[in-house]
Amino acid sequence: MIADRLAARHFTAQAELPADLETIELGALDAFLRNLLVTDGTVSRSLEAHTLRPVTVEPVEQSETLPPAPVARHLRLDQDEACMRRRVVMRIHGSEPSVWAESFVVPGRVPVEFLRELNENSRGIGGSLERLKLESWRELLWFGLGTPPPWPAKSATTRTLRRAYLILIERRPALLIAEDFALTERNGALAMAGADEEGPAR
C-alpha cells in the first residue's frame, strides 16, 4: 500500500514510537495534514499559506535540562550531558493552540547567533534557521496519535497528531523537535483543528 511505503520511506524510527502514542495510517489523515506531516519546511509558513490567516508563535518555556533517554540517544549525547529545552505554542489568528512544539537543542552544535535569534524573536526555530540562512537537514523519526501536552494550559483539544524529527547541522544532530497538531474530524478524515479553508479573517 502506498501509504505504508510513504511512512516507511520518510520516517526512520517509526518502530520506536513511544508507548503513550497510538499508530495511525497516513490514509486516515486529510491531504493537508498528510502534507504537513512529511514537510521539512516551516510549519508556521505552511499554516499561513493554507489558511491565509496569521500564525503566532508564543514561547512558553526555555531552560537547561537533562533530556529523556530516547532524546539523548537520537542526539548522540552522553547520559549526563545537558541541553536546552524550548516549548512554544502556535495559534492561528488568536485561536486555541493549533500546534505544540517541544525542542531539545544542543547549544555546542548550533551557532551563537542562532541561540541569540531564539531568545530575541518569536518566529520559532524554522524562522530562525531561515533568517540566518543556516544550512541544515531534517530527519523525520516517527508519528502517532496522542493527547495535547499540559502546557501552557489545558486545551479543548482532546487528540493530537505528534511527530518527531531531528535537525542536523554540519552532519551532526543539533536539535530534536516533537510537534503536536490539534486534531478534528472533517469529511470522514482526521484534519487539523483550526486549519479550515474559510479564507482570510476580516
Extract long-range pairs of 4-13: CB within 8 Å, 24+ residues apart. 6/38, 7/143, 10/38, 10/140, 11/140, 11/141, 11/142, 11/143, 12/139, 12/140, 12/141, 13/74, 13/141, 13/142, 13/164
pLDDT at residue 123 in the model: 63
pTM value is 0.91
> Architecture of domain 2-191 in CATH?
3-Layer(aba) Sandwich (3.40)
pLDDT (tens digit, 9 = 90+) per residue, 32-87? Answer: 999 999 988 789 889 999 999 999 889 999 999 999 999 999 999 998 999 999 99
Domain spans, the chain: 2-191
